[in-house]
Amino acid sequence: MKYKKQGTELVIVFDENEDNISLLDFFHQIHLSKKTIHLLQQNKEYMLNGHYTSINTHLKKNDVLTIQAYQSGIDFKPQAYPLKIVYEDDILCVVNKPKNTIIHPENKDGINTLCNYVAYYYQTTKQDYPIRYLHRLDRDTTGLVIFCKCSLLQPYFDHMIADKKIKKHYLALIEGHLNQESLTVHQAIGQNRHDKQKMMVSAHGKSATTHFKTIKTMSTYSLIECLIDTGRKHQIRVHLQHLGHPILGDPLYGHQTKLIDRLALHAYRLQLIHPLTHKKIDIVCDVNRDMKKLL
């Protein structure tokens, strides 16, 4: 499919991949809810080839769908910050979250969060969208965070994340050296009953799988790549503690160190499938200077 943004609408040109499926089938492909589909019908917020038509209409190659897809209104306080934009199109904005930064404030009047910095970026680039992050990183973890501009397609990305189809790769500096170059940890994770801030490996927790690969070893620490199949709270940190190799500078699951003044964890790569072009998007972001210095 090809697409373009036109005001608050998306104009989508179908190709042979959608030939002979119904419009309703397409709505299901992008994971629209029954309520959303009903409202699109009720308000006649879509047209096929210039005319409102039944959602049971079958599509043909080169059919053109025009559909209401965007909401307006920046809903966090814009705050100036030299934010690094790693990837952007009319659907997504992917940014490099700085260290010591939380994703969002407790209320819409709060400041000093990633949502405030993205709001400022939208404002200065004349993009009038609500600020919608798709996932989170811990305060001290740096790296890639996805924001969705297009409200119509947010359910697609939410489904992809829930279904583990957005691959998240991390780089971590850990204490010591893994005893294998590559290994996978399958250990369930649950709440630590003795410390509400912490999680722990627990037979009664939720299943969690993390893949680790050594990239480089130094005398007392290592650089490793981490790929998570699940998205449990503190998953990488807990699994590395379980292995006896906590992340450098991790105050919860390891030790503070003079080498770095924060958790040495960076979300460096995201891989996903675009909902409309169906092309693979592979986004990479280099580690911050504090981690690079140790390499």
Residue 273, domain member (yes or no): no
| CATH at 48 | 3.10.290.10
Report the domain count for the chain: 3
Q: Taking a C-beta distance cutoff of 8 angstroms, is the pair 108, 163 a contact?
A: no
Residue 131 and residue 182 share a domain: no
Domain end, chosen from 97, 131, 163, is at: 163
> pLDDT (tens digit, 9 = 90+) per residue, 151-200?
999 999 999 999 989 999 999 999 999 999 999 999 999 999 889 889 99
Domain encompassing residue 16: 2-68
pLDDT number for residue 95? 98
Residue 152 and residue 107 share a domain: yes
Q: In Å, how far are 9, 14, 45, 69, 159 from 66, measured between CA atoms?
A: 7, 11, 8, 9, 23
**Cα–Cα dist 18/128, whole Å:** 31
CB atoms near residue 23 (< 10 Å): 23
Residue 202 and residue 177 share a domain: yes
Residue 275, domain member (yes or no): no
Q: Is 16 exposed, middle or buried (0-12, 13-18, 19+ CB in 10 A)?
A: exposed
Strand 142-148 versus strand 167-175 pairing type: unpaired
> pLDDT (tens digit, 9 = 90+) per residue, 244-256?
999 999 999 999 9
**Cα–Cα dist 127/85, whole Å:** 14
pLDDT number for residue 75? 94
Question: Is 138 an annotated catalytic residue?
Answer: yes
Residue 291, domain member (yes or no): no
Residue 172 and residue 237 share a domain: yes
**Cα–Cα dist 87/97, whole Å:** 13
Residue 229 and residue 188 share a domain: yes
Residue 183, domain member (yes or no): yes
Q: Taking a C-beta distance cutoff of 8 angstroms, is the pair 234, 218 a contact?
A: no
Q: Taking a C-beta distance cutoff of 8 angstroms, is the pair 240, 248 a contact?
A: no
For the chain, 295 residues long, the average pLDDT of each consecutive 10-residue run is 96 91 96 97 97 96 97 97 97 97 94 98 97 94 98 96 93 96 95 91 93 96 94 93 96 94 96 94 96 94
Residue 115, domain member (yes or no): yes
Residue 45 and residue 78 share a domain: no
Residue 130 and residue 47 share a domain: no
CB atoms near residue 28 (< 10 Å): 13
pLDDT number for residue 34? 96
15, 90, 109, 138: the active-site residue: 138
pLDDT number for residue 230? 85
Residue 188 and residue 158 share a domain: no
Q: Taking a C-beta distance cutoff of 8 angstroms, is the pair 169, 269 a contact?
A: yes
**Cα–Cα dist 229/236, whole Å:** 11
Residue 283, domain member (yes or no): no
pLDDT number for residue 19? 85
Residue 158, domain member (yes or no): yes
Residue 27, domain member (yes or no): yes
Domain end, chosen from 137, 163, 189, is at: 163
Residue 144 and residue 105 share a domain: yes
Residue 175 and residue 156 share a domain: no
Phi, psi of 240 (to 5 degrees): -70, -35
Residue 46 and residue 12 share a domain: yes
| CATH at 191 | 3.30.2350.10
Residue 259 and residue 171 share a domain: yes
H helices present in the chain, as ranges: 23-29, 34-42, 114-124, 154-162, 235-243, 289-293
Domain end, chosen from 128, 163, 198, is at: 163
Nearest to 197 by CA among 250, 240, 243: 250
